[in-house]
């Protein structure tokens, strides 16, 4: 697997509460978008992904999905406990979307409104549902994806990591084909760029680094209202 990642504060927010992990040795890519006052969002996203990675390092990869689920549960507890013992971190939480590639398979865990996409043979498809108020409305057919991008309540999450003692985690196992690209991103990207535009940029930029830069540059050109994080991996 080859991968590139980029994260940017954007043009409006005072700090970057997004975080990512790219660990090619483990075949691990992950993004997190933290939330909470007093920089607690930054604490939450870093704590969640660092805990996830440490936990995975401790375990053999014989059952990668079970390992990821267990590590995600520990990350949840760790963020939650930290928020209870620290007044400035009260109520903090984060999204978490991670894929571990082992052999020819990708194992995904997901909570919140960051996204994972699969780009295969020229087509971009969603691997995750947004755990947000507007995401639910899109799934029941009350809103289109495009309307959701402009909805005033688009930032309201229905599920996050670290805000409660335990959390329900979506998971997926997928078989990879050579040439597949996996894209992880935070909402700062997809709120200002459509799926069709993402697909075109990936198609026109076979070089991963170039593609991540083009995605970031377009999000900034659209005003960069939020932190923007993009991880793009190629399965060879």
Of 21, 27, 33, 56, the one binding Mn ion (CB under 5 A) is 33
Quick one: 44 or 101, whose CB is closer to Mn ion?
A: 44
Q: Which stretch binds Mn ion (CB under 5 A): 29-37, 103-111, 161-169, 212-220?
A: 29-37
Helix/strand number for the chain, H first, E second: 7, 11
CB-based contacts of 108, cutoff 8 Å, min separation 6: 68, 97, 98, 99, 116, 127, 128, 170, 171, 172, 173, 174
Q: How far is the CB of 15 from Mn ion (least distance, A)?
A: 12
Closest CA to 184 of 225, 222, 128, 236: 128
Task: Give the count of beta carbons closer than 10 Å to the beta carbon of residue 148.
Answer: 21
Q: Least separation, in Å, of the C-beta of 102 and Mn ion?
A: 29
Q: Is 226 in the site for Mn ion (CB under 5 A)?
A: yes
CB of 191 to Mn ion, least distance (A): 8
Residue closer to Mn ion, measured from CB, 113 or 214: 113
Q: Angle 218-223-226 (CA atoms, 0-180°, nearest 5)?
A: 95
Stretch 166-205 residues interacting with Mn ion (CB under 5 A): 186-188
CB of 188 to Mn ion, least distance (A): 5
């Amino acid at each position: 697997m080859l991968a590139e990642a980029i994260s940017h504060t954007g043009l409006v927010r005072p700090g970057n509460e997004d975080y990512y992990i790219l660990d090619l040795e483990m075949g691990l890519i992950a993004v997190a978008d933290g939330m909470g006052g007093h920089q607690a969002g930054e604490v939450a996203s870093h704590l969640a992904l660092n805990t996830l990675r440490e936990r995975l390092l401790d375990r053999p990869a014989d059952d990668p999905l079970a390992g990821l689920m267990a590590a995600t549960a520990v990350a949840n507890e760790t963020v939650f406990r930290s928020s209870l013992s620290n007044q400035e971190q009260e109520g903090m939480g984060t999204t978490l979307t991670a894929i571990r590639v082992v052999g020819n398979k990708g194992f995904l865990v997901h909570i919140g409104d960051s996204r994972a996409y699969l780009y295969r043979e020229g087509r971009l498809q969603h691997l995750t549902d947004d755990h947000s108020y507007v995401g639910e409305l899109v799934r029941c057919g009350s809103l289109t994806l495009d309307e959701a991008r402009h909805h005033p309540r688009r930032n309201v999450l229905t599920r996050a990591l670290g805000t409660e003692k335990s959390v329900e985690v979506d998971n997926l196992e997928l078989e990879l084909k050579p040439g597949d690209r996996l894209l992880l991103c935070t909402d700062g990207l997809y709120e200002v760029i459509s799926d069709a535009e993402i697909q075109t940029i990936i198609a026109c930029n076979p070089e991963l680094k170039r593609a991540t830069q083009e995605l970031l540059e377009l999000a900034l050109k659209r005003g960069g209202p939020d932190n923007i994080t993009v991880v793009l991996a190629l399965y060879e």
